[in-house]
Amino acid sequence: MKIAVLICSLVFDSQKAFMKGIERRVRDWGDVCSVFCCHVNVSGNDSYVRGEYSVFELPDLSSFDGIVFVRNTFQDPSFNETMVKRIADSGVPCVCVDSYSPEFVNILSNEAGIVEEVTRHLMTVHGCKKFFFLGGMLESRDTQERYKGFKKVIDENGLFFNETWRYNGNYEYASGVDAAQYFLNLGDGLPDAVVCSNDEMAIGLITELKRRGIKVPKDIRVTGVDFDSVSRIYSPRLTTCKRQQYQKAVNAINVLHEYSDHTKGESITLPIVLFRGESCGCKPDDDSKIDANTTNILAIDRYAQSELTQTVKRMTADLIGKREYYALLDSLKEYGCKLHADELYLCMNVRPDYLIDYSDYAKALTMIDRDNQEDYSDELISVVSVVNGKVPEGADDREYFEKKDLLPPLAKGGKPGGTYYFFPIHYMNRNFGYAVLGTSGELIRNDFFPNWCTLASNALENSRKRNVMEQMIAALDRMWIYDTLTGIYNRAGFFKMSEPIIIEAVKEKTPVCVVFMDVDGLKEVNDVYGHDEGDALIKEVSTILKENKRHGEIVMRYGGDEFVLLAAGYSDEEASACVDRIEAAMHRFNESGTKKYAIEASIGYCITTLDTPDALNALIEDADHEMYKKKYVKKAMKNKTVR
């Protein structure tokens, strides 16, 4: 069976335990599972969140045989509803976890009952009457249900509860620290107990209370929800509730395989299990001893985190130093191997403007920070491939493939029993592509792979911006020396580029020739045909001048309709031949009938040896005078012909 799992965050232990259950049951059934997930938990910059959410636009959900939708991890209400509609429209069997949806089969915990039981325990066993409540985000269904269970016990027993005694965080440790500060600053005295919506916030709360000299459970009793790994080793041992996330995942895969036995809107509710710990004043249910397995896990985790920290430091430093795009990819490949992953792929959008030519400065300004790159291209390219911790020998790791395939050709559609994690690679809402981690879930749970993705995303953006800025600077340099309309030198460029030629000519007493050309009738073309045609005429003249150079001459647009050609070592015959070539080219253009108007110009030249480089300006003026003589003669002949 081909299964998609949609889960918005893998931050908390409960989510990681759920994915362990998915991996195990997928392996048992021999399925191929694609997990689409991101780094977003509950908050963040809007552009960053949009970039993270892009990964959920990647799959064609109708191509799967079954979907597991962990709905309560999608905290944005609008996006949550969007996902529900997409899944329903796909027509694929779906199991919705931890949040009820009438369109799907649901696997739930009794969230209200969880907190109801722990609150009742605090009241009946420990005699608590004054309660504070620490919840998650207000828009979260879990928070709403858990508060409902808490309030039910309070109201049923006629206990007083002031709404200011409720604090809503975001399920993270720091929220617990903030809640402790908030409660103590209320000035309402200490409560008998604080009921927390998860273990992580409860531990943050207890830690801050201890820092302020308040003892748990002697001064305040504290409870959590989740039974996460830290709660089992924290002192005091936390009183909490087991939500059976691992078992929910196992059940979800089983339901997909037996979907015909279930009905839409059906709910499968797993029982809650209260774990009594020291934080409420009880003797721990498991006699509080840390077994050898837990001790080993702690030791391994400590070393793993230390290794992660060092690897992240080295990777950050190495990637910052990579200026060239393909050198950057080589570094990502190197650090991908250090993850020792079974399979790892970096798949990039095939987008013509990713490394765009920014020599057009105006275009560069519009491209550098544009916001319309949130989608995935229909074709992608695998630029990093790691299999069994190594780059496969002889394999082409830059393989093109279609978006609908999700995995590059090297992956061969995925291994039976394998779980593949898809993470977005982006900077804010600029979408570069995605990374895939195959059958190496531990790298998700210890944050190795998410950190690799974040560093890769930032490095790609830094490379892009550096490339853009370098090309923009080059474009600005070009603007300083080149005429923007014709692409030939402007005055600044002409004098800069002619300087070594003139210095050498002065030194060697070599004659210098300046040909001065003035386009006739430009005003009439502008008046009759418009300025676009006038610009086209000027560009055609510049093309004629460039194409008729023979000996490294320098061409300049001197003014609106004036051009200068400079050459060292010209004889009078060569200068005359140059003028003839230019006039012949104009004649051929006119004979072609390409335009309704003709290109005509007056051309004069002057040749002399220069005593100093500064004498070039005087030579240009002399050539200008010669041009005007020709223009005067041409005008006189024209008037004579008219008469």
Which of the two residues, 426 and 302, has the higher pLDDT score? 426
The pair phi, psi for residue 433, each rounded to 5°, is 150, -140
pLDDT value of residue 326: 80
Contacts 24+ apart (CB under 8 A), 307-316: 308/446, 308/447, 308/448, 308/451, 311/335, 311/338, 311/448, 312/451, 312/455, 315/452, 315/455, 316/455
Q: Is 227 a domain residue?
A: yes
Q: Tell me, yes or no, whether 189 lies in a domain.
A: yes
* Residue 517 and residue 561 share a domain: yes
What's the confidence (pLDDT) of residue 198?
Answer: 93
- Among 439, 470, 501, identify where a domain stops: 470
Considering the domain architecture, whether residues 221 and 361 belong to the same structural domain is answered as no
Task: Encode pLDDT of 468-515 as tens digits.
Answer: 777 777 777 777 899 989 999 999 999 999 999 999 999 999 999 999
The domain in which residue 194 lies consists of 109-245+265-293
State which of 470, 505, 524 marks the end of a domain: 470
Assess if residue 254 is contained within a domain. no
Computed over every residue of the chain, the mean pLDDT equals 88
**DSSP code per residue over 199-230:** HHHHHHHHHHHHHTT--TTTT-EEE-SB--TT
- With b meaning 16 or more CB within 10 Å and e meaning fewer, what string describes 126-137? eebebbbbbbbb
Same domain, yes or no: 158 and 234: yes
Two tokens at 304?
């793993």
40: tokens are 């977003």
Same domain, 26 and 83: yes
CB within 8 Å of 639: residues ≥ 6 apart: none
Domain shared by 300 and 386, yes or no: yes
Tokens of 623: 């050539």
Residue 479, in any domain of the structure: no
Residue 477 lies in a domain: no
Before 392, cis peptide (omega within 30)? no
> Which pair of tokens denotes residue 413?
């559609």
Q: Which two tokens stand for residue 592?
A: 């072609």
pLDDT tens sequence across 31-55: 999 999 987 755 556 888 888 899 9
> Quick check: is 255 in a domain?
no
Higher pLDDT among residues 352 and 356, named by residue: 352
More confident site: 475 or 125: 125
Per-residue pLDDT of 391-441, as tens digits, reads 888 666 678 999 999 999 988 888 999 999 999 999 888 899 999 999 766
- Residues present in the chain in total: 643
**For residue 559, is pLDDT > 80?**
yes
Same structural domain for residues 560 and 613? yes
Helix axes 13-29, 245-257, angle to 10 degrees: 30
> Which residues are registered as beta bridge partners of 36?
6, 422
Q: At what angle do helices 448-481 and 292-320 cross, to 10 degrees?
A: 10
Structure tokens at 589: 């253009």
If asked whether residues 508 and 550 sit together in one domain, one would say yes
Instruction: Return the DSSP state at 239.
Output: B
pLDDT value for 340? 80
pLDDT over 50 at 364, yes or no = no
pLDDT at residue 21 above 70?
A: yes
Spatial separation of the C-alpha atoms in residues 643 and 632, rounded to whole Å: 17
Mean pLDDT of 132-153: 92
pLDDT at 463 over 70: yes
Amino acid code (one letter) for 391: V
Asked if pLDDT for residue 305 goes beyond 70, the answer is: no
Q: Are residues 124 and 81 in the same domain?
A: no
Tens digits of residue pLDDT in 181-215? 999 999 999 999 999 999 999 999 999 999 999 99
- Comparing CA positions, the residue from 564, 364, 595, 547 lying closest to residue 483 is 564
618 and 558 together in one domain: yes
The total of structural domains in the chain comes to 3
pLDDT of residue 304: 65
Note the pLDDT of residue 397.
Answer: 60
Indicate whether 524 and 426 sit together in one domain.
no
Q: Distance between CA 347 and CA 399 in Å, rounded?
A: 9
Does the predicted TM-score (pTM) go above 0.85? no
Q: For residues 124 and 636, give the distance between their C-alpha atoms in angstroms, rounded to a whole number.
A: 117
Same domain, 269 and 176: yes
CATH of the domain at 116: 3.40.50.2300
The reported pLDDT for the residue numbered 209 is 97
- DSSP secondary structure string, 9-43? ---SHHHHHHHHHHHHHHHHHT-EEEEE--S--S-
Cβ neighbors of 576 (< 8 A, separation 6 or more) are 605
Is residue 448 a contact partner of residue 339, using CB atoms and an 8 Å limit? yes
CATH code for the domain in which residue 621 is found: 3.30.70.270
DSSP state of 501: H
In the chain, % of residues over pLDDT 70: 91
Question: Cis before residue 217, ω within 30 degrees of 0?
Answer: yes
Task: Give the CA dihedral 198, 200, 203, 207, nearest 10 degrees.
Answer: -140
Please indicate, yes or no, if residue 36 is contained in any of the structural domains.
yes
- Reported as type and span, the H/E element at residue 583 is helix 572-592
Domain termination residue (choose one: 403, 438, 470): 470
- Is there a single domain that holds both residue 420 and residue 512? no
Given this model, what pLDDT does residue 355 score? 44
Helix (H, G, I), strand (E, B) or coil at 414: coil
At residue 356 the predicted structure's pLDDT band, cuts being 50, 70 and 90, is very low
User: Look-up: residue for tokens 């004498």?
Assistant: 615
Residue 256 lies in a domain: no
